[in-house]
Structure 1
């Protein structure tokens, strides 16, 4: 793996870097969010480790900027903040995983390997459409009836996955695995909150509802009743 470490605590960074190199991986370390964003947008990495509390910029803001710049590299956030709201805010910004300090290197490494093994969403079609809803993959743009919809990165990923499975039941567990990379339920309203926001943008301004909730099961995207 080629790993970018964005961490201002040099002891922690050295601990991670040595562990990676002992496993034959390549590790690059920078100490500020700004340096991390420059490298993340100019070089190819298999995964990025981003500390939450960085000088001059919250790691969450940096991750949000990267996702807004269409950087799709898997990101795991490190933090001393362990409250559920802190974990959700990191994931909401676009991080793929979240690990609380202190941690064992073996756990971090297992999570890194899991992120790099994750298969990207299928890219066969350059665009997807359901009724008057169109998703353009190359430009990462979504429109309905020709009207552009402003989606955040997670909303876009949820919609893309739903549009890849038109008329099929997509469960909460499937979305947690495909969009967030979770193989467990974090016991939060993460999925419901994002789908609700997505529905407000995709359905609420229009007469026809496309995202349908199947109570107790999940969601179906369809232009049929």
Structure 2
């Protein structure tokens, strides 16, 4: 699942992103209203976490804009403003929940899980499927042919990215940037290592292989005779 985090306090943004990434969410960070609007226009998000006080506007305005742009996923507001009036303003602007600062990361993650459950897990679907491989984004369960596969958080995030692009080759650079949030390093083999680990669980026990190498480029999910 992909989350847009809009927070101009760099240290806090890094803490929140790290916590969510460790829970296998893909997280993009924006530090301003303008940057958030650019991200929102370019990508599809399952949930948004918005700080109220931004350098070029307010999270209230951003939430209202997102609803006008027909974003139907959950919005969680983060703010040091903790009066009843501020909470009402946030909810009226389109937010689904309101978390005052300071907060515990475990509570933040619990609220994210609850919001995703209430909204069916995603803005589009809570299930991803390719051939007989299925992923439930809410329960975080993966199965193939009815057999449950036990994946690590990073394996889950990698497979989710491949499933979201099923039938289309994705480059190692794309995978590094979206799953590891790393710039492309031609000397790194982390993607290949994790793909091999994933293959042992997704493909090795089955006759039909789904994860294929695109030589000199990356990987793709594809059914081959």
Normalised TM-score (structure 2): 0.52
Question: Residue in 2 aligned with 1:34?
Answer: 34
What displacement does 1:53 show?
Answer: 0.2
Question: Residue in 2 aligned with 1:108?
Answer: 108
Contact 2:74 2:119 in 1 (8 A): no
**In 1, distance between residues paired with 2:22 and 2:112?**
15
Tell me whether 1:67 sits opposite 2:67 in the alignment.
Answer: yes
Normalised TM-score (structure 1): 0.52
Contact 1:40 1:71 in 2 (8 A): no
What displacement does 1:73 show?
Answer: 2.1
Question: Residue in 2 aligned with 1:80?
Answer: 80
CA RMSD of aligned residues (A): 1.1
Tell me whether 1:58 sits opposite 2:58 in the alignment.
Answer: yes
Q: Which runs of 5+ in 1 are unaligned?
A: 121-225
Describe the SS at the equivalent of 1:107.
helix
Contact 2:8 2:30 in 1 (8 A): yes
Q: 1:4-23 alignment to 2 at 5 Å?
A: 4-23=4-23
| Deviates most, 14-23 or 38-47 | 38-47
Q: Which runs of 5+ in 2 are unaligned?
A: 121-225
Structure 1 runs, 4 residues or longer, greater than 4 Å off: none
Contact 1:41 1:71 in 2 (8 A): no
**In 1, distance between residues paired with 2:79 and 2:119?**
26
Q: How far does the alpha carbon of each residue in 1:158-195 deviate from its partner, in whole angstroms, 9 at most, with x for none?
A: xxxxxxxxxxxxxxxxxxxxxxxxxxxxxxxxxxxxxx
**In 2, distance between residues paired with 1:47 and 1:119?**
9
**In 1, distance between residues paired with 2:66 and 2:119?**
20
**In 1, distance between residues paired with 2:20 and 2:28?**
10
Describe the SS at the equivalent of 1:50.
strand
Tell me whether 1:2 sits opposite 2:2 in the alignment.
Answer: yes
**In 2, distance between residues paired with 1:69 and 1:23?**
28
Q: 1:194-209 alignment to 2 at 5 Å?
A: none
**In 2, distance between residues paired with 1:64 and 1:119?**
18
What displacement does 1:105 show?
Answer: 0.5
